[in-house]
């Protein structure tokens, strides 16, 4: 005999339950099922709400990062997070990566000739001989000697954008900065695409240093100095022109890039493109913003002990020049601040 038959025979004499007897149990069962369904719906709703909240948070974070990266102008400090770490495996890798990023940027509107360029910098050259903290007023640009070695004191400069009339005077004050910002903008824009031709043109445009040709300067030293001079004296080189300049700089013999980001005079992390000169016993470092790839300043470091006729004995590691460009802007009048 099977188990089901035994079960039926065991309670064969029990009366069949009517609808009223079954009602309480049915109600309990129905409530239990309904409660489970409500909990399931709440869980599904909570999951959807959580998903929407997470998506909103991710979207908001993405918008914030995009705004920080895209809206901070070159020269206004390092307020934005880098999208990725720059490739510092070598000068070609670092500078060509910068050039590639610059070619994807839009060219900004050129300032009017009657406007002024405002520069704010910290640091400077320790061999300059006047009082720290002086502002420099120049039309188009006068390299007044300054003691800008105090990194805590900002220095301000105003350059008239269309100051070509001053170029014709060729006064001693214009030796270091012989071109107006507008002329430098046009010089950079017209540079050839070919790196060798570009460097030859820069050697022609910047043949002097401190008023005379540097004794014993090699072609590669001249190439590096000419590129640095253009970068340091320009207000804002158009992105496509700057890309060509970086590509050419990567071809200069003995140019290197430091394999890590370094700190400039303003304490910001920057890319250092360097070249050492055995003739001068100095390593010059061109600083580039790792986020915007704009030029942001320079440093000069002694590499070998030697005696300089104008400031005594120099020792390895001595910093003889350290300048950080912390703000650039176009204003409508002399002495106006942004």
Rounded to an integer, the average pLDDT of 237-241 is 97
Q: Which of 273, 279, 282 is nearest to 316 (CA)?
A: 282
**64 vs 26: which has the higher pLDDT:** 26
39: left (phi over 0), alpha (psi -120 to 50) or beta: alpha
95 and 63 in a common domain: no
Q: What does each C-alpha distance from 177 to 7, 101, 142, 315, 329 come to in angstroms?
A: 110, 29, 7, 29, 19
* pLDDT tens figures, 259-272: 999 999 999 999 99
Query: What is the rounded radius of gyration, in angstroms, for the C-alpha atoms of the chain?
Result: 35
172 and 45 in a common domain: no
**What does the alpha-carbon distance between residue 224 and residue 218 come to, in Å, rounded to a whole number?**
10
Helix (H) / strand (E) element for 301: namely strand 295-302
What's the domain count of the chain? Answer: 2
Is residue 267 situated within a structural domain? yes
Rounded to an integer, the average pLDDT of 277-295 is 94
34 and 159 in a common domain: no
* Residue 200, token pair as written in the block: 């030859």
120 and 50 in a common domain: no
Is residue 285 situated within a structural domain? yes
**What does the alpha-carbon distance between residue 185 and residue 189 come to, in Å, rounded to a whole number?**
6
pTM value is: 0.68
Q: Which residues pair with 272 in a beta bridge?
A: 287
**288 vs 45: which has the higher pLDDT:** 288
Instruction: Answer yes or no: are the C-beta atoms of 195 and 247 closer than 8 Å.
Output: yes
- The per-residue pLDDT for 142 is 29
- The per-residue pLDDT for 94 is 98
Is residue 8 situated within a structural domain? no
183 and 105 in a common domain: yes
65 and 33 in a common domain: yes
116 and 40 in a common domain: no
Q: ω before 140 within 30° of 0 (cis)?
A: yes
297 and 157 in a common domain: yes
Is residue 283 situated within a structural domain? yes
Q: Which of 248, 326, 320 is nearest to 287 (CA)?
A: 326
Instruction: Answer yes or no: are the C-beta atoms of 271 and 225 closer than 8 Å.
Output: no
Rounded to an integer, the average pLDDT of 237-266 is 97
Residue 320's pLDDT band (boundaries 50, 70, 90)?
confident
Rounded to an integer, the average pLDDT of 36-59 is 45
142 and 96 in a common domain: yes
Instruction: Say how many Å lie between the first and final Cα of the chain, rounded.
Output: 102
313 and 168 in a common domain: yes
214 pLDDT more than 90: no
Is residue 78 situated within a structural domain? no
- The per-residue pLDDT for 55 is 43
Is residue 137 situated within a structural domain? yes
Is residue 300 situated within a structural domain? yes
Domain interval for residue 263: 91-331
205 and 113 in a common domain: yes
Least confident of 2-11, 57-66, 106-115: 57-66
- The per-residue pLDDT for 211 is 46
Is residue 295 situated within a structural domain? yes
Q: Which residues pair with 273 in a beta bridge?
A: 257, 286
- The per-residue pLDDT for 144 is 32
Residue 88's pLDDT band (boundaries 50, 70, 90)?
very high
């Amino acid at each position: 005999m099977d188990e089901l038959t035994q079960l039926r025979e065991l309670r064969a004499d029990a009366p069949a339950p009517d609808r009223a007897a079954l009602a309480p149990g049915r109600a309990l069962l129905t409530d239990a099922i309904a409660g489970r369904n409500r909990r399931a719906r709440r869980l599904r709703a909570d999951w959807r709400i959580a998903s929407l909240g997470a998506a909103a948070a991710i979207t908001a974070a993405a918008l914030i990062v995009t705004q920080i990266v895209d809206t901070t102008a070159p020269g206004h400090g390092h307020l934005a997070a880098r999208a990725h770490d720059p490739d510092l495996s070598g000068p070609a890798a670092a500078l060509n990566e910068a050039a590639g990023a610059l070619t994807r940027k839009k060219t900004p509107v050129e300032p009017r000739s009657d406007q002024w360029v405002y520069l704010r910098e910290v640091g400077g050259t320790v061999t300059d001989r006047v009082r720290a903290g002086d502002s420099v007023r120049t039309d188009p640009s006068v390299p007044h000697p300054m003691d800008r070695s105090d990194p805590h004191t900002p220095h301000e400069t105003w350059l008239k954008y269309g100051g070509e009339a001053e170029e014709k005077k060729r006064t001693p004050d214009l030796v270091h900065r012989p071109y107006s910002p507008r002329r430098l903008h046009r010089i950079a824009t017209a540079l050839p695409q070919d790196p060798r031709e570009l460097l030859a043109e820069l050697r022609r445009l910047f043949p002097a240093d401190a008023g005379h040709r540097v004794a014993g300067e090699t072609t590669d030293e001249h190439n590096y100095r000419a590129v640095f001079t253009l970068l340091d004296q320009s207000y804002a080189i158009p992105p496509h022109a700057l890309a060509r300049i970086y590509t050419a700089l990567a071809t200069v013999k003995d140019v290197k890039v430091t394999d890590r980001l370094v700190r400039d005079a303003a304490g910001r992390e920057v890319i250092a493109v360097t070249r050492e000169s055995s003739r001068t016993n100095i390593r010059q470092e061109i600083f580039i913003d790792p986020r915007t790839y704009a030029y942001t300043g320079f440093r000069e470091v002694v590499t070998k002990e030697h005696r300089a006729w104008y400031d005594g004995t120099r020792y390895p590691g001595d910093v003889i020049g350290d300048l950080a460009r912390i703000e650039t802007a176009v204003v409508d009048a002399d002495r106006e601040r942004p």
